[in-house]
Structure formats: C-alpha cells, structure tokens
Structure 1
Amino acid sequence: MWRELESRSEISFFTSWSWIGSWLRCLPTDVAPMFLRARLNGRLIGAGIVVGSVMWKARCIPMRVWRLNETGRPELDKLTIEYNGLVIDDTVKHLVEPLMVQYLLDQGSEWDELQFNALRRPVMPPKQRARSVFHALRTRLKRVRQPAYQVCLVDVREAGEHVRLIKQKPRYHIRRSYNTYQQSGPVTIEAAQSMEQALAWLERLKHYHRAYWAARRQEGAFQSDFFNDFHDQLIRANFNRGEIQILAVKAGDREIAYLYNFVWNGHIYNYQSGVNYAEMGGKLSPGMVAHTLAIDFNAAAGHHTYDLMAGDHHYKRALTLQTVQLDWWAARRPTLPVKAEDSVRRAARLATRIRPSLSKAS
C-alpha cells in the first residue's frame, strides 16, 4: 500500500517504504507504532507512522508525546530522520495534509505534545481555521527552523567540476590535498557494485567513523546495535533497487574515505562518512576531497542534488552554495504535565536572575 502511494507522492527517501519499512521491521516489540491513513473511495491517499512515548521533562515530569516517524527513545532515534513528513497523493495534498494534521490535533486527549520533526515543508491545519482551532484547543504551536546544505548538480555539470563553484580558500585546500594524495597513486572514486561489496565497505566506513569519535572520547552512531541492525536491513532490502550508494575514495591502495549515501529520484543524501584522518589528515582535507569527488561523480551520473543535510558544520558551508529549511514543529496542550514543566522552567529562570543579586548582597 505504501509503495503504491509513494509512486503518486513527491517524498524524500526518509519517508519511502525503503526507510520506513526497514525501520518498522527493526523496532523492538515494546514500541507500538500507529498507522495514520487517509482514504478516498477505498484508495489510500495519505499515510504516516505515529509513535507515542513518555518523555521526562525537567527530569521529573512525565509527558505523553506523539511523534511522526520517530519513537522518542534516543537510542532508537539516533537514525536521525530528515526531510520528514506525511506521504500524500500529490493531486490532493493541499487538501488532505491539513485534514490529517487536524485529525491528530483532535486526538489531544491522548497526548500532551505532538511533534513533527525535520519536516521538508511546514504542516498546518486548514489556514482559514488555524487560529480558531488552536484557540479552541488552547494549543500552543512552536516552530524551529534549521538549514540543510545542498549542491545543485546541474550547476556542477555546467561548471565542469565542483571546485570551480566554491570559494577560493576551500578550493585551495581541496586541490592541495588532492595533489598530495596523488603522490601515493591515482586518486579514484568507485561505487560498490554488489550488496556484498557495499556491506564490506560499510564495515571500513564504520572503522574510520569509530576511530574519529573515539579520538574525541565520544561514541559514534555505529556503537548502537539497533543502528547497525537497521542499516544492515536497509542495505540488504534496497541495494538492488539502486537506492544505496557506498563510495570508496582512494589514493592508489591507500584509503582516503568511504561515503554512505541514499539515492532517490536524482537526489543524493549523504548520510554517513568514514574518513581516514589518521593517515590522510593532518593539514590536509580528506573529507572535503571525498565529498568533492562524490559531487562530481554524481553530477556525471545525471543526478540533480547532492545533499549534506542538516547540521551546521564548517565543511558543509564550504562545499555548498545553497540551503533549504527544515522545520521542527510541536503543538502543546495546557495539560497538567505541560503546566508543571512551564512552572519548573519559570522557577529556574527566576532563580538564575536572583542568584547574581544574592551574590552581590553577600
């Protein structure tokens, strides 16, 4: 049902059945997802997965939270969905999406907070009713926006290569690094040609990814069994559909980096990377070289967008010339837990303002 609907909907890889199906298959049995669906004359025209959980606010207040395509459990949500949203038939999207959002708002007796995170576009109840709806439900709406960083591959094809489009300083670092790597042998980029090769290269990516975070005394994403099981499932289910791209970047026999990307209707999502900083780093830029080569590789393949996604990092700003906005959207009802959290936070802010005055007085 989902596959047939997504063929009629402009969606991202993260709301395709490739992602959602793998996610549902890997969820532990104590997670109870709800299937939100809209039908017209028996035909599915809208879908989403809603999961309820209890979230502890201010460390002591249990709050019932419903989320779209997430669980609310940090160890499971490390998957980090982006370009989230409902899957809706494009011909009726402008009518059906507001009604589906309104339906969830109308279930307010079941939740204290409703979250739609990392949305591709804002979602709202019908515009003419939005103000009266929120007033009647006494529901507060909070929205936060963050940029996602993209490269237009059409521009790259017209320019001939990606480095011609970026600023002088990163262009210099990339070319200097590339020329240095060539002393070890030809610098190459290659995509995994089989599922077995993709899984083997993913293990090399994990090795470098873990080394990077271990050097900072932090845990990387691949420390989680759930995270690893999910991506094993995802690759096995979807590599032969052409939706998984794992790239190896080398200088001769020396590994520079591995990149793990998703491919969806000409849109390349860079999801994870493993960069050999120990041998190829120092004053050089192995990660930026790898992404530049990946951008040129995908431009040559005829794709239209290379997406470094959300998260404000220097290398993303250096490599991209455009951003799109993702929305984090939350509705909160004035339930007892919400009021209690508001009171605790007001008291904490007041204590913060009073404390300097008491110190001066003493």
Structure 2
Amino acid sequence: MEIAVTQHQSLEGLGEIWRELEVQVPRLSFFQSWSWVGCLAEERFADPVLLQARCGGQLVGLALFNRHRGRLCLGESGDARLDAPFVEHNGPLALGLPGVDRALLHAAAGLVGVRRLVLSGVPASLLAEAPGIALRLQQRRAPHVRLEEVRKAGGDPLALLSANARHQIRRSAKHYGAPTMRRAESEAEALTMLDEMMALHQRSWLARGKPGAFADPFPRRFHETLVRRAMPRDEIDLLRVEGERGLIGILYNFRLRGRVSAYQSGLDLAGAGAHGKPGLTCHAMAIARAVGSGEAIYDFLGGDDRYKRTLAQHGEALLWAEMVPSRSLTGWALRLRNFARGHALSHSSKGSSSAAEGAGPA
C-alpha cells in the first residue's frame, strides 16, 4: 500500500477524481459522496490535507482532512460554525479492500505537526482501525428501518410497530384529515421548500428557547448549495406533507444507493393540537413512499429521539472521537487514567461478588 499526501493546495480538480472512485465504492454513504464532501469545499477546507492510497498503481482510497490548530479533521473543518452541517456515516472513500482505511488513518496521524485526529460520525469498525487513544469519545445510536421487512409485512410501515404507535399515527392522520405528501420535482421548487422547511424548523426550536440548526447563515448557504448540487443527481428528497387543516411538515432527506437518510425537518407544532403527531405522520408517510420506490433502508441518522425509537426496529452506533498518540504525554496520562478506572472497577466488582457470596446461605 502506497500513501501519497498532498497538503496546502487548491481542491480544484479533486471532484473528478473523487467521482471516479466513488462509483467503485461498494458501500457509499451520501456523506462520503462528492455531493456532500465537495459542497463549499474551498471554504470549509482552508488547510486541506488529501491522502491517496494506491495498491499496484491503482487508486483504492481517498481521505480529505482539514488541518486546524494541530488537529486533523476527517471530512470536517474543525471550525464549529463551518461544521454545523452535521456529518454522519463518515469515513475515507475506499474500495472494499482490507487495510485501506487503516493505512490512510495511520498515515494521517503520523504527519508532522498533527497532535490529534478528529473522526466524527464514523462507524465503530472504522474507529477500530485508527491509531492512538481516545481523548474524547461520544456514541450516538442511528436507528433505521429495513424496508424489505416492511414489504414482507405487506408494505404497510405500521405493521411492524407496537399497537400504541399504530393507534397514535392513525389518530394523528384522522386529526389532520387525509394527509398527502408531495415531493419537490425541480430545483426551484426544492429551494422554495427548503426555505420553508428552515423557517418551520427555526420557529419550533426558538419556541423551546434554543437557536436551531439554521441560526447561522452558513448552514443555510451550505444546504442551498447542496440542493443545487445534488438535486440534478436525484439525491435529494424535499417532501411536503399537508392535510385538510393545512401544512403538517416538510422533510429534508438524502437518497443514495437505496438508502434514504432523514437529515432534517420542519414541523408545524402549533397546529398539532392534542392528537396531531406531525413527526410520526410525516416520517411514516416517507417510509411508505420509500417502500414503494424500492429503497432498502430508511435511516433516521444519529440521535435517540422518541419518534425514531417508535418507527425504527434496528440501529447502529456512530462515534465521535478525538484520538491522540498513545505514546504522547496526553496518551500516557489517558492510559494511566483508564488503567486506574479499570482497576477500581475490577476491585469494586470483586467486593460486590464477595459480599453477595457472604450474604448467601451457609
């Protein structure tokens, strides 16, 4: 495996190389595609580091990082404002060959001046390939629906849900009065629907005293650009759901290779009343639509929200980690801390076991 490193250069021309490789990648996430990675890339990756893996002269892997204050961030800038468009199912763009991810991550961590490797929204299998020890580690479950299971159940997404969930969704549909779903079919319509979705989203979050995902101008500009990039490739679903009472909500989903990713939504919470469930209603209809169009997975992405647990039967862990070299001062301190914690836990477990044994009959 040969790893070539390119630093501090323009990203112009990278899109063509990236697209040529992504066609060959067997399990491609939307967040690994150039539609996402290349969106406002020159602005997001101010100090880019591109790693290319070759095997026998053939390009088998690409990884785009940004250097930020001693950190090397995979697929992100390292700037919280520019990373507000949340990345998930992140990872190098690599063919399904053993050792490619590992080689890219180890080469990245070994670059001069890199103190930490930041891996956001990655699967556990990728983190296992990364060198070093985690200074920061967060796990979020990403629930999903396997749509073939819905088809086997007759095509009705409600068939796999609990009796209580089925009752709530049917009662909500009755409350709204025959809800219907319409997809934006043109770029102009999609941008209009996106703007309305963002307004609904902000309204509901501000009512809770929180800023919302689109408070800063950059996420708005990012997603407007993303829609223009991905809509012609049929990778965006903006879905408007209305009932007899009016607008219920708008979903903003990504769609690639049979996987629908429910990225964001704007819901009319004010009109929900006691029985309206706008989130459950909109997503149940979107799942039914995905079943009918032959998709494989409806992915709710990271977060353990109640509506996700209600609608999804499966899930996987996504991890956000900041790795430091094991033999650095910070790494040694973390190893000592983890050893001490493990020793204390082991001692506590033995004490509990002994107490339990002593409490038993003679």
TM range (shorter): 0.7 to 0.9
Q: Could you tell me whether the CA contact under 8 Å between 1:249 and 1:257 is conserved in 2?
A: yes
Q: Could you tell me whether the CA contact under 8 Å between 2:109 and 2:116 is conserved in 1?
A: no
The counterpart of 1:173, out of the listed 168, 171, 176, is 168
Tell me which residue corresponds to 1:39: 54
The counterpart of 1:273, out of the listed 258, 265, 272, is 265
Tell me which residue corresponds to 1:61: none
1:70 equivalent to 2:76? Answer yes
The counterpart of 1:102, out of the listed 99, 106, 124, is 106
Moved more, 116-125 or 146-155: 116-125
CA distance in 2, matches of 1:187, 1:289: 8
CA distance in 1, matches of 2:73, 2:277: 38
Determine helix, strand or coil for the equivalent of 1:110.
coil
Alignment CA distance shift 1:271-1:253 (3 Å): same
Q: Could you tell me whether the CA contact under 8 Å between 2:65 and 2:74 is conserved in 1?
A: yes
Tell me which residue corresponds to 1:18: 35
1:81 equivalent to 2:105? Answer no
Tell me which residue corresponds to 1:290: 282
The counterpart of 2:139, out of the listed 129, 135, 145, is 145
The one-character-per-residue Cα deviations of 1:255-304 (angstroms, maximum 9, x if unpaired) are 00000000000100000000001113444211110000000011101101
CA distance in 2, matches of 1:87, 1:299: 28
Tell me which residue corresponds to 1:57: none
Alpha-carbon deviation of 1:27?
A: 2.4
Alpha-carbon deviation of 1:16?
A: 0.3
The counterpart of 1:214, out of the listed 181, 206, 216, is 206
For 1:109-124, list aligned pairs within 5 A: 109-123=112-126
Q: Could you tell me whether the CA contact under 8 Å between 2:94 and 2:101 is conserved in 1?
A: yes
1:223 equivalent to 2:215? Answer yes
Q: Return 5+ residue gaps in structure 1 as ranges.
A: 55-63, 347-362
Determine helix, strand or coil for the equivalent of 1:277.
coil
Q: Could you tell me whether the CA contact under 8 Å between 2:72 and 2:108 is conserved in 1?
A: no
Please state which structure has a larger fraction of its residues in helix.
1
CA distance in 1, matches of 2:86, 2:169: 29
Letter in 1 for 2:50: F
Q: What percent of counterpart residues are identical?
A: 31
For 1:342-357, list aligned pairs within 5 A: none
CA distance in 2, matches of 1:99, 1:196: 43
Determine helix, strand or coil for the equivalent of 2:295.
coil
Letter in 2 for 1:105: A
1:2 equivalent to 2:18? Answer yes
The one-character-per-residue Cα deviations of 1:77-121 (angstroms, maximum 9, x if unpaired) are 11110000011122x2x13222112212322x4122112221135
Determine helix, strand or coil for the equivalent of 2:62.
strand
1:257 equivalent to 2:249? Answer yes
Alignment CA distance shift 1:116-1:292 (3 Å): same
Moved more, 109-118 or 315-324: 109-118
Tell me which residue corresponds to 1:59: none
For 1:319-358, list aligned pairs within 5 A: 319-333=311-325, 335=328, 338=330
Determine helix, strand or coil for the equivalent of 1:201.
helix
Letter in 2 for 1:119: V
Q: Could you tell me whether the CA contact under 8 Å between 1:101 and 1:124 is conserved in 2?
A: no
Moved more, 14-23 or 34-43: 34-43
Q: Return 5+ residue gaps in structure 2 as ranges.
A: 1-16, 339-362
CA distance in 1, matches of 2:87, 2:164: 32
Alignment CA distance shift 1:27-1:178 (3 Å): same
Alignment CA distance shift 1:8-1:224 (3 Å): same
Alignment CA distance shift 1:70-1:98 (3 Å): same
Alpha-carbon deviation of 1:145?
A: 3.5
Letter in 2 for 1:150: H
1:301 equivalent to 2:293? Answer yes
**How big is the alpha-carbon RMSD for the aligned residues of Structure 1 and Structure 2?**
2.4
Q: Could you tell me whether the CA contact under 8 Å between 1:26 and 1:230 is conserved in 2?
A: no
Alignment CA distance shift 1:125-1:258 (3 Å): closer
Alignment CA distance shift 1:125-1:198 (3 Å): closer
Tell me which residue corresponds to 1:355: none
Aligned residues: 316
CA distance in 2, matches of 1:105, 1:271: 30
